[in-house]
Amino acid sequence: MARLVDNPNLAFRLARAIISDIALYNQEKVKEGIKNDNIFELLEEELQEGREHFHSRVAADMPERDHLYDRAMVDVMIRQAGKIESTIW
């Protein structure tokens, strides 16, 4: 069995990679979700699957483990969508 990530910096990099993949493979949902301010509802299944994958690779006792994943969602998916016209900006 692979060793779990126990370094917050590496865990954040992993979270960013997972979110990048989700955004890449769901570009239309990201656009629609930003435009209509329902991105988390549209991508709920994909984001939950990504979180489960993240949890399977990161030590459970890492402080703020979920915060790292949530921050990656904002840093990667939401920030990159800043050019999409929306009422939320």
20 pLDDT more than 90: yes
- Band of pLDDT at residue 78, cut at 50, 70 and 90: confident
Per-residue pLDDT at 88: 65
pTM of the model: 0.90
1 pLDDT more than 70: no
| 3: in domain | no
Domain membership of residue 76 as a residue range = 8-80
Query: How many domains, the chain?
Result: 1
Q: Which tokens go with 44?
A: 């709920």
Q: pLDDT tens-digit profile of 24-64?
A: 999 999 999 999 999 999 999 999 999 999 999 999 999 99
| 86: in domain | no
Percentage of the chain lying above the pLDDT 90 cut: 78
| 89: in domain | no
| 1: in domain | no
Give Cα 23 to chain centroid, integer Å.
8
